[in-house]
Amino acid sequence: MKLFRTIAILVAAITLTSACKQRGEVTEAEAQELATREKRLADRIAGFAVDTVGGPALARWVLPAELKEISGLAVTADGNLLAHNDEQGRVFVIDPKRGLVTKQFMVGGGDLRGDFEAIAVSGADIFMLVSNGTIYRFREGMDGEAVRYTTIDTKLGHECEFEGIAVDRGGVVLLPCKNVGRKALRDQLVIYRWELKRGASQRPSMLMIPHSQLIGPTGWKTLHPSDMAIDPATGNYVIIASLEKGLIEITPGGSVVRSGPLPEASEQAEGVAITKDGILAISDEGNRAPATITLYRWPLAPAAVSTGALSTTNPEDSR
Amino acid sequence: MPFFRRFIDLMSLGSERPILRLVAYYLGVGVIIIGLAYFYPESEKLLLGRGAATPAQTPLILEDGLTPAPAATTLSAGSLLELTVTTTLVLLGTMVLMLPVSWVYMSARHVPGHAQAVVQTLIILPLVVAGIVLIVRDSLSLAFSLAGVVAAVRFRTNLRDTRDVVFIFLSIAVGFAAGVQTLAVGAVLTIVFNFVLLLTWRYDYGRNVLTPTAASQWAGPLASLASQDDHDSVPDRDLVLTLSPKSADALADRFERVSDVLGKRGKKPRYTAVLSVQTNEVAEAQELVEKVLDDKAKRWKLDEVVTNTGKPSEVYYILRPRKSVTRDELLTAIRDIAGEKVEHVDLESRDAIEEEVGVSV
């Protein structure tokens, strides 16, 4: 009986102690660390600091286990990053300058699962892409909130496997194709343009650029885009390819601005985003090491560039 | 645990019925869970299965990959406390769920089916399973390691009763539910299991009405043992090999007592039937049944009263009905006079058994 009483008192003490710790509380020491990080990053951006170890990265944040399979990355209007893993409809909001997960919210009831591949932001709307071309549309939620969503079925899953999504300035959803189904298009980079205003019955137009123009002197045999972002300064499309470990930048018209390797050797770059103040964020899925988000100055230092002719078509024209 | 006993006594108004006591227990546990969820909202995760999938608290400071800070790289005191609380609550929850299962096992599995080792296993096994699942979680490599370790350890324990296997499966299921922090599933599973099991035990569900009675099962072998006919008799040498002097004496004593009851050799047996009565009010039912027996039986004798808790007690009489009284008349008379005081009444007669088994001694 005495033993039972002792155990009960211990459990009650632990429970109460734990309950007393307020959710969302940052200690003074942690606040100081966050301020130091912010200042360090500002110094690095300004070029005052030269203590960056191992390359051009401004900062690298090691992600928690829940984001080990980080898949998509996007920037919100207030400069935060949105990230998610590839299985759960759960979005993490990360302050990139301080390396702080500020909140997380769930899409649907919290148990939404799917092969989520990418995320993009347009105004107040957030778009999350499934590899079969289905898009989940929702708004940013509060910490711990389950937000409602609607789905857009592009019906493009049989033509293409998707891993990236971006929304351009005109509100057109851009879907770069990782693996093209149609043989005739396999030697080209294909980007579908899905216009939100036209509804589900539309047949999207496509931007097609031959691989030969994109690859140039890089030595890649082909190109498998794993994510895409819009440069807020120029409106250019920035695409990363995990398999080729490459980064390309093209104009909305299809001209190649930049084609070269990623800023640093990366194990599996799955997400890309660019902030208004010129920071390129690349998420790297964790395999042997933990997943990370790395920040670089944008635009990057000049790399190999190959310019090519534009090829824009509507699929109905190509039939 | 006198406190628990007093608490359950209070809640069940002192009833000894297992179902009432179970209801009282679950009500008490429900109140504790509501209180826990109110004062410690995080515990809801353990019940509803969000624990395994829920990431760490926000805001969460990420580790700096370029200039690592020691404080951020390791398990902090806060997360250690959270891990300790979570694990403790999971294991306590498992015990809370498995305790009534062990009580039901002990209630419904009387000797000779009862095995103390199984009762202890019911408490300990789910704790171990929950611990393993907590460690393995979503790690495929750990799962393979576990499979390797388990494959290396061989278990060869035979359970005497297939129903014990069901209890073991249940304890594994509860362990898994606790391990993946879905205690609500484990709770529903054990509650339904306990009540279904108690009800099947209470009403003897599944009993085959065509199953021979104990008396008819023994009629053949006993007649064979007693036979002096060379064809049917059991050879003495076999009895010599089978019995020890002590058991032979005990058997002789029992047969002597049976002989006294049956009457002298060469005469008709004094008692020819067994009346079994199931009732929740033993004293009242006995009084009423005995009135009928006074009237309808040439002679009768109370043989045994088996008192049960949670289901009707059993009263057995041996008797010799009057020649003019048929089985149906006797049973109808008892049902008429006893009414609802008697749950079930049956009469098993020697003549019917001999006819059924084809034995003549």
Q: Which chain A residue's Cα is nearest to B53?
A: A66
Question: Do residues A277 and A268 make contact, with C-beta atoms less than 8 angstroms apart?
Answer: no
**pLDDT score at B291:** 93
Which residues in chain A are closer than 8 Å to B55, comparing Cβ atoms?
64-67, 90, 92, 101, 104
B55 with A104: Cβ contact below 8 A: yes
Inter-chain Cβ pairs, chain A and chain B, closer than 8 A: 104
Three-class secondary structure assignment of B292-351: HHHHHEEEEEEEEEECCCCCCEEEEEEEEECCCCCHHHHHHHHHHHHHHHEEEEEEEEHH
**pLDDT score at A34:** 87
pLDDT digits (tens, 9 = 90+) for B220-265: 788 888 777 767 778 888 888 888 999 999 989 988 888 888 888 7
Which residues in chain B are closer than 8 Å to A294, comparing Cβ atoms?
65
**pLDDT of B88 higher than 60:** yes
> Which of B36, B62, B90, B138 is the mutation pick for testing A, counting most A CBs within 10 A?
B62
A14 with B88: Cβ contact below 8 A: yes
pTM of the model: 0.53
- Give the separation between CA B41 and CA B46, rounded to whole angstroms: 10
**pLDDT score at B249:** 92
User: Could you tell me which of A72, A68, A277 has the C-alpha nearest to residue A166?
Assistant: A72
**pLDDT score at B48:** 65
**pLDDT score at B71:** 43
DSSP element (H, E) containing A240? strand A237-241
Which one of B1, B59, B78 has the shortest CB-CB distance to A100?
B59
Strands of B174-289, DSSP E? 273-279
- Give the separation between CA B189 and CA B58, rounded to whole angstroms: 33
Which one of B53, B69, B85 has the shortest CB-CB distance to A18?
B85
DSSP element (H, E) containing B241? helix B236-242
Residue B361 or residue A112, greater confidence: A112
**pLDDT score at A273:** 96
A33 with B71: Cβ contact below 8 A: yes
Which one of A1, A17, A64 has the shortest CB-CB distance to B81?
A17
**pLDDT of B64 higher than 50:** yes
Q: Which chain A residue's Cα is nearest to B90?
A: A11
Flag whether residue B55 sits within 8 Å of chain A, measured between CB atoms: yes
Kindly list the averaged pLDDT for each block of 10 residues, start to end, along chain A of length 319.
55 51 63 87 72 68 89 94 91 93 87 89 94 93 90 90 92 92 87 88 89 84 93 94 92 91 86 93 87 89 47 41
Which residues in chain A are closer than 8 Å to B85, comparing Cβ atoms?
14-15, 18
Highest mean pLDDT among A41-55, B57-71, B317-331: B317-331
pLDDT digits (tens, 9 = 90+) for B262-301: 888 778 888 989 999 999 899 999 999 999 999 999 999 9
**pLDDT score at A24:** 52
**pLDDT score at B154:** 65
- Give the separation between CA B6 and CA A235, rounded to whole angstroms: 74
B40 with A60: Cβ contact below 8 A: no
Flag whether residue B217 sits within 8 Å of chain A, measured between CB atoms: no
**pLDDT of B348 higher than 90:** no
What are all long-range contacts of B99-106, with beta carbons under 8 Å and residues at least 24 apart?
B99/B25, B99/B123, B100/B22, B100/B25, B100/B26, B100/B190, B100/B194, B101/B167, B101/B170, B101/B171, B101/B174, B101/B190, B101/B193, B101/B194, B103/B18, B103/B21, B103/B22, B104/B18, B104/B22, B104/B194, B104/B197, B104/B198, B105/B167
Which residues in chain A are closer than 8 Å to B78, comparing Cβ atoms?
21
- Give the separation between CA A33 and CA A49, rounded to whole angstroms: 17
B55 with A66: Cβ contact below 8 A: yes
DSSP B68-136: --HHHHS--HHHHHHHHHHHHHHHHHHHHHHHHHHHHHHHH--TTT--HHHHHHHHHHHHHHHHHHHHH
Q: Which chain B residue's Cα is nearest to A112?
A: B53
**pLDDT score at B69:** 56
CA dihedral B128→B129→B130→B135, nearest 10 degrees, is: 90
